[in-house]
Amino acid sequence: MSKMDVASKFFHACESLKGSAGCADMVAEGAGFEAQSEPIADIDTVLGYCDWMQAVGQGPLAGCQYEIINSSFDETTNTAMFFGLFTATNGGEGGPVPPTGKSTKSHYVYTVTVNDDNKVSHMVKIWNAPWALTELGWM
């Protein structure tokens, strides 16, 4: 399996809310996560982020969907880039406010680095969280 295949398989597992249980076999031990985005800025592991996605997507944003707009792979850095569109409605319980019925269409980018063992070793999420949270009625 190519490194891009590994990154794609991971991306789809994470975005389809498999959580750490559904992503762990694709992720290197201690794989780091970074984001300069308020709701997820304190998450520092890839698997921690996978669990956050699962909790949000099965709770306040149940029924959320994603679409890949573009993807690429840089063989020099062994890093895949996924540009996506996240669509969700705040209709479930467990969010920072009661369900608002408001929706968001929020662009985001993942960079997913794959190591020589064909495991995700690092991830960065680039996301304008205030835009999405405002659309959802959370801000």
Domains of the chain in start order, with CATH, are: 3-136 (3.10.450.50)
The set of residues, in sequence order, having a beta carbon less than 8 Å from that of 90 and lying 6+ positions away, is: 60, 61, 97, 99, 100, 101, 102, 103, 136, 137, 138
Q: What is the pLDDT of residue 97?
A: 87
Q: What is the pLDDT of residue 137?
A: 93
Cβ atoms of 127 and 95 within 8 Å: the answer is no
Q: What is the pLDDT of residue 11?
A: 98
Cβ atoms of 102 and 137 within 8 Å: the answer is yes
Q: What is the pLDDT of residue 95?
A: 82
Return averaged pLDDT per consecutive 10 residues of the chain, 139 residues in all: 97 98 98 96 98 96 97 98 97 88 97 98 97 93
Task: Give the phi and the psi of residue 119 in degrees, each rounded to 5.
Answer: -125, 145
